[in-house]
Structure 1
Amino acid sequence: MLTTRYVTGSPNWIDLGTPDLEGARAFYGGLFGWTFQSAGPEAGGYGMFQLNDKTVAGGMAVPPEQGGSAFTVYFQSPDADATAERVRTGGGTVEFDPMDVFDLGRMALLADPAGVAFGIWQPGTNKGLDVVDEPGALCWMELYTPDTGSALGFYRSVLGWEEYGVPIPGGDTYTTVNPAGTGPDDMFGGLVPLEADPVEAADGPYWLPYFEVTDTNATVARAEELGGTVRLAPIDLEDVGRIAKLADPYGARFAVIKSVAPQEK
């Protein structure tokens, strides 16, 4: 599960790049109850989405010519420069070289060998998201990739991840990942072969963030009311929860889940 006890390799930040920040603020405010707090004029329009005064994501306006609307997941690094170099030698791409963000931390934007974007965050005074794994906050993520074996090798070499296979109905195995030196209780995401999911295959590989909700059906209905798109209608996953896949009005893809509580399993 995700936790704010961040360690090397764990997801510690997520942000949204969107061509319409005001529209995104209205959408996610109506959907999750998020508010937006600007980081100030010196931050170039970047700001924080907050829930009950706790940061759950970052966000900024991105010109359409710089790419479509999307969430970017960041993983903790003790040395952003060294991690970026491992990305290069591992066959990935450094999209934006490591840079300091005031005294908050040091970050870089990268892509794995399949072209999937992600970021790294070397904490300074900002250790990461204030809240995860609660309603309205990030709780899981999935990498849709054409080759799960190659992806595992890449992220293992770059971020030190370990993997754990979880049996799923039908005799298949769902590959989960966790930070080095931890265990299955610290898994934070899964890897899915792109061709195994027709919903995702058409749009190519990427990291899909999941946000916890209290009622999947109600959240989906609200997303449609706010101008979002249902990419996958609500379905139940045994011993996991009820999920749905959505996109905001500007095309950013994400998923929601009402997780099965431990005592319900």
Structure 2
Amino acid sequence: MSNHHKINYVELPAQNIAATKAFFTKAFGWSFQDYGPEYCAIQDAGLDGGFYHADLKASQAEGSALVVLYSDHLEDSLKAVQEAGGTIIKDIFSFPGGRRFHFIEPSGNEFAIWGE
């Protein structure tokens, strides 16, 4: 299968790269490759990407794209987010095709996790 014109990489702002890395490592087991003090590449997350230092944040309400993760065990993922320091902004709700919740990570970016 060709990767031509496929989504290949996603970059997100991070007000505090160290806190963002610690959150995703604890909550989901992601790892990171640092490229200087203002950029880190996301590894082991399913889609390649990175966080760059900025005083911005990705929020669906502000028109940003929403990054959505998949979970085999949605309630366990919600607990992992909370234990890692994330803030739940939309508790688990149903939608056509499954259930999901939204959270904010330490740098203020909004993510969602869904499950069937």
- What TM-score, normalized by structure 1, do the two folds share? 0.39
- Identity, in percent, stands at 21
Change (3 A) 1:245 1:55: closer
Q: Aligned-pair distance for 1:58?
A: 1.1
Q: Aligned-pair distance for 1:59?
A: 1.6
> Aligned pair 1:6/2:39, yes or no?
no
State the Cα deviation string for residues 53-81 of structure 1 (Å, max 9, x = none): x763212222x3xxx2338xxxxxxxxxx
> Aligned pair 1:205/2:63, yes or no?
yes
Q: Aligned-pair distance for 1:215?
A: 1.5
Q: Aligned-pair distance for 1:5?
A: 4.5
Q: Which runs of 5+ in 1 are unaligned?
A: 72-199, 261-265
Match of 1:243 among 100, 103, 106: 100
- What TM-score, normalized by structure 2, do the two folds share? 0.81
Task: Specify the alignment match of 2:31 in structure 1.
Answer: 35
Greater Rg by CA: 1
Contact 1:210–1:254 (CA under 8 A) maintained in structure 2: yes
SS in 2 for 1:70: coil
Change (3 A) 1:55 1:233: closer
Q: Aligned-pair distance for 1:211?
A: 1.0
> Aligned pair 1:218/2:80, yes or no?
no
Structure 2 counterpart of 1:29, one-letter code:
T
> Relative contact order (alpha carbons < 8 A, sep ≥ 6): 1 or 2 greater?
2
Contact 1:48–1:55 (CA under 8 A) maintained in structure 2: no
Q: Aligned-pair distance for 1:24?
A: 0.4
Task: Specify the alignment match of 2:18 in structure 1.
Answer: 22
Q: Which runs of 5+ in 2 are unaligned?
A: none
Match of 1:50 among 43, 47, 50: 43
